[in-house]
Amino acid sequence: MKQILAFGDSLTWGSDPHTSGRHPYGDRWPVALGAGLAQAVVFAEGLRGRTTVHARRSACVEMRGDAVLPMLLHSHAPLDLAVIMLGTNDIYEGHPSYLIRDGLERLVEIIRHHPWRLPEAAEPQVLLVSPPPMSLCEDPDITPQMVAQSEALAEVIEPLADRLGCGFFDAAQVARASDADGYHLEGADSRALGAALRAPVAAMLAL
């Protein structure tokens, strides 16, 4: 049985754009991904507000992905694959795309240099997923500049994935944030993302 870590933010947690609550279990993309992989289990680690590496001083919990990733790697070890989908909150906080790229590179470094302390520890593969683009909505905090940056993020993440030898998937192929709140997915789009990730994940793990 292959073991997969899905590391992300509220999109991975399953935030409902209409209620600010959580999607039903089956509507969360890590669950939809796992449902199509009989020989794999997916550990969902999504946190509302999580960034790649950038601090959110007003947050009620630690939001920096780099700060908590080592603990999660140790908790879920051994792992065969880590799927990382982050960047939306970095955009929301005003960080430029090159710093999001650098933050993702740091996360890959953490995975590849983690002290697993297992008898036969193997370095997991990494799949970088460019998040679904944001959408304009009634919330004035979601600006056209943010939307444009989110639409172009794949152009920054794909070359990074190529350079680091990671897998890559552009979530914009199958999903876009709901215009109900500008950055979260409808249940159907979340399920579609999980379903679309089955093929690249299966290929990476030779399932």
Give per-residue pLDDT as tens, 8-66.
Answer: 999 999 999 999 999 999 999 999 999 999 999 999 999 999 999 999 888 999 999 99
Residue 51: both structure tokens together: 């960034």
| Percent residues over pLDDT 90 in the chain | 97
pLDDT value of residue 78: 96
Separation between Cα atoms, residue 28 and residue 26, nearest integer Å: 6
Predicted confidence at residue 3, as pLDDT, reads: 98
CA distances to 21, 82, 181 from 167, rounded to whole Å, are: 31, 10, 30
Q: Is the pLDDT of residue 121 over 90?
A: no
Which residues are CB-contacts of 177 (< 8 A; sequence separation ≥ 6)? 17, 132, 133, 134, 135, 150, 183, 184, 185
- pLDDT 10s digits, 55-74: 988 899 999 999 999 999 99
